[in-house]
């Protein structure tokens, strides 16, 4: 957990808090005692990679560092039980050694398992759900200190809601995840003109296991990325330590990208040139790796991000409207827009609940004010029935949440029932969920 001089901050540096106490329980008994005895707000950060203040607390922060590692693997049901704070970069090698892997992952592997589960973190693939939808069960330490098992048949409501609960229903100590036999993926990257891409988009999405594209809005080329299963040979898998080191590595291209992002706010005349240049050097060569090694990429340049999920069929219109708006208003940004697809699920507060979706993400360099870009994009996202990613910037309030999340009322009621004093609510969450 990143704490300097008593102050905790998130990955992008945009969220800070000064908790009165930081508790580091060594087991579930100590964790339950800490929660039961807590005065004021209790929050549990994962790796602090959310851009929203979901982890902030001026009361207690709980550091679950001791809750890492594999507990068991059930090869019959293809599920693995892991400590809730195990980092994704640790999980890949652990599962691989047992002959398994996750069905899908997002862009990075820095997060804690409970962190990705609690915000509905996702990768891309029209038939693949987010992390929350891959949860088979979990153990939850509730506000009163009780510890319960949550599965489809035990404490069913807590299971259904808690899979994407932003840590508001309790603290997960361990999580049972669905897994599949280990597999390799081949990555292919290429550029396409937007008109050509949109003409083929449905086909590209449906004919690849994973397809996504990035669009620097002032560029006339989109960067396409496809991943498909293969039996081709792959390099020997890395250890967890090597996976960690790889994710923190930044090369010459990253430094150039960062350098240009430092200059761009003062040199808007460079936008078109910079976006053309970034689009040229971003597509890497084709490669084959084990799945857990190919999904994540190093992301060392700090930024802030907003992402909304819109109904899948509305995605192409939505991203085109966003690019058109950015160009028309000459909004200054050095980052691409990312377009992905996610299968619908049944998790109450998942952005993908009940509908197959396209996700559209906009980013801004961490030193650049986000308001101009994010406000304008959010207006467009709302007009497409967008639902925000809970870990990424948004201004959703309770009224809007009720309109776009069909299970919002049920979630609020359950939250109130299991945490009567609002122990797990901070001001950000209280404004939406209390």
Ligand X SMILES: Cc1cc2nc3c(=O)[nH]c(=O)nc-3n(C[C@H](O)[C@H](O)[C@H](O)COP(=O)(O)OP(=O)(O)OC[C@H]3O[C@@H](n4cnc5c(N)ncnc54)[C@H](O)[C@@H]3O)c2cc1C
Residues that bind ligand X (CB under 6 A): 11, 43-50, 54-55, 64, 84, 106-108, 111-112, 114-116, 118-119, 121-122, 166-167, 171-172, 299, 389, 391
Residues with Cβ within 8 Å of residue 76, at least 6 apart in sequence = none
Asked if residue 105 lies in contact with residue 123, where contact means CB atoms within 8 angstroms, the answer is: yes
**Which residue is nearest to ligand X, using beta carbons?**
115
Q: How far is the CB of 424 from ligand X (least distance, A)?
A: 8
Q: How far is the CB of 196 from ligand X (least distance, A)?
A: 25
Which one, 37 or 99, has the nearer CB to ligand X? 37
Strand extents, DSSP E, 286-374: 287-290, 303-311, 337-342, 357-365
Asked if residue 97 lies in contact with residue 292, where contact means CB atoms within 8 angstroms, the answer is: no
Which one, 137 or 391, has the nearer CB to ligand X? 391
**CA–CA separation, 145 and 162 (whole Å):** 16
Other CB atoms within 10 A of residue 367 CB: 12
Q: Is the dihedral of CA 377, 379, 384, 388 positive or negative?
A: positive
Which one, 326 or 425, has the nearer CB to ligand X? 425
Place of tokens 């040229």: 280
Which one, 67 or 100, has the nearer CB to ligand X? 67
Asked if residue 363 lies in contact with residue 303, where contact means CB atoms within 8 angstroms, the answer is: yes
Which one, 82 or 84, has the nearer CB to ligand X? 84
Which one, 140 or 264, has the nearer CB to ligand X? 140
Which one, 48 or 92, has the nearer CB to ligand X? 48
Residues with Cβ within 8 Å of residue 13, at least 6 apart in sequence = 302, 366
Which one, 106 or 283, has the nearer CB to ligand X? 106
Structure-token pair, residue 308: 């909304």
Which one, 171 or 310, has the nearer CB to ligand X? 171
Asked if residue 218 lies in contact with residue 179, where contact means CB atoms within 8 angstroms, the answer is: no
**DSSP secondary structure code for residue 266 in this structure:** G
Q: How far is the CB of 325 from ligand X (least distance, A)?
A: 23
Q: How far is the CB of 129 from ligand X (least distance, A)?
A: 12
Q: How far is CA 65 from CA 23, 44, 55, 376, in A?
A: 10, 11, 15, 39
Q: How far is the CB of 390 from ligand X (least distance, A)?
A: 7
Ramachandran region of residue 349, left (φ > 0), alpha (ψ -120 to 50) or beta?
alpha
> What order do you get walking across the sheet with 3-4 strand by strand?
3-4, 7-9, 16-17
Q: How far is the CB of 391 from ligand X (least distance, A)?
A: 2
Residues with Cβ within 8 Å of residue 252, at least 6 apart in sequence = none
Q: How far is the CB of 247 from ligand X (least distance, A)?
A: 10
Q: How far is the CB of 249 from ligand X (least distance, A)?
A: 14
Other CB atoms within 10 A of residue 248 CB: 11
Asked if residue 55 lies in contact with residue 8, where contact means CB atoms within 8 angstroms, the answer is: yes
Q: How far is the CB of 235 from ligand X (least distance, A)?
A: 23
Which one, 231 or 367, has the nearer CB to ligand X? 367
Structure-token pair, residue 169: 């229903």
Kindly state the helix (H) or strand (E) to which residue 245 belongs, with its residue range.
helix 240-247
Query: CB-based burial of residue 356 (10 Å sphere; 0-12 exposed, 13-18 middle, 19+ buried)?
Result: middle
Q: DSSP of 375-426, one letter per residue? A: HHHHHHHHHTT-EE-TTS-----HHHHHHH-TTHHHHHHHHHHH-TT-TT--
Q: How far is the CB of 248 from ligand X (least distance, A)?
A: 12
**CA–CA separation, 131 and 120 (whole Å):** 6
Q: How far is the CB of 329 from ligand X (least distance, A)?
A: 26
Which one, 309 or 322, has the nearer CB to ligand X? 309
């Amino acid at each position: 957990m990143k704490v300097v001089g008593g102050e905790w901050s998130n990955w992008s540096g945009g969220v800070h808090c000064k908790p009165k106490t930081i508790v580091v329980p060594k087991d579930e008994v100590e964790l339950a005692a800490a929660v039961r005895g807590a005065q004021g707000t209790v929050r549990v950060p994962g790796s602090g990679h959310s851009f929203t203040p979901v982890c902030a607390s001026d009361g207690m922060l709980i550091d679950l560092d001791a809750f890492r590692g594999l507990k068991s693997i059930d090869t019959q049901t293809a599920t693995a039980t892991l400590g809730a704070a195990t980092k994704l970069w640790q999980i890949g090698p652990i599962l691989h050694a047992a002959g398994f892997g996750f069905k899908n992952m997002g862009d990075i592997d820095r997060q804690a398992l409970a962190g990705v589960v609690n915000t509905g973190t996702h990768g891309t693939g029209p038939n693949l759900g987010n992390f929350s939808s891959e949860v088979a069960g979990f153990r939850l330490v509730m506000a009163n200190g009780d510890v319960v098992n949550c599965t489809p048949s035990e404490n069913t409501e807590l299971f259904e809601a808690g899979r994407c609960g932003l840590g508001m229903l309790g603290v997960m100590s361990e999580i049972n995840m669905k897994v599949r036999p280990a597999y390799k993926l081949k990555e292919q990257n290429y550029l396409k003109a937007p008109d050509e891409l949109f003409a083929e988009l449905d086909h590209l999405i449906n004919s690849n296991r994973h397809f996504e594209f990035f669009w620097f809005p002032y560029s006339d080329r989109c960067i396409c990325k496809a991943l498909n299963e293969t039996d081709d040979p792959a390099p020997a898998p890395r250890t967890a330590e090597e996976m960690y080191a790889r994710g923190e590595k930044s090369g010459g291209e990253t430094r150039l990208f960062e350098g240009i992002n430092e200059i761009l706010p003062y040199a808007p005349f460079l936008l078109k040139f910079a976006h053309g240049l970034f689009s040229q050097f971003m597509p890497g060569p084709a490669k084959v790796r084990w799945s857990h090694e190919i999904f994540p990429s190093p992301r060392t340049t700090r930024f802030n991000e907003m992402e909304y999920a819109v109904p899948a069929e509305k995605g192409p219109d939505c991203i085109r409207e966003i690019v058109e708006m950015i160009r028309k208003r000459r909004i200054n940004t050095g980052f691409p827009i990312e377009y992905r697809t996610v299968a619908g699920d049944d998790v109450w507060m998942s952005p993908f609940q009940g509908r197959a979706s396209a996700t559209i993400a906009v980013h801004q360099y961490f030193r650049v004010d986000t308001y101009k870009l994010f406000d304008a994009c959010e207006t467009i996202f709302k007009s497409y029935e967008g639902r925000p990613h809970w870990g990424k910037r948004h201004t959703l309030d309770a009224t809007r949440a009720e309109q776009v999340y069909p299970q919002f009322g049920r979630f609020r009621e359950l939250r109130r029932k299991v945490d009567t004093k609002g122990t797990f609510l901070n001001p950000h969450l209280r404004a939406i969920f209390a």
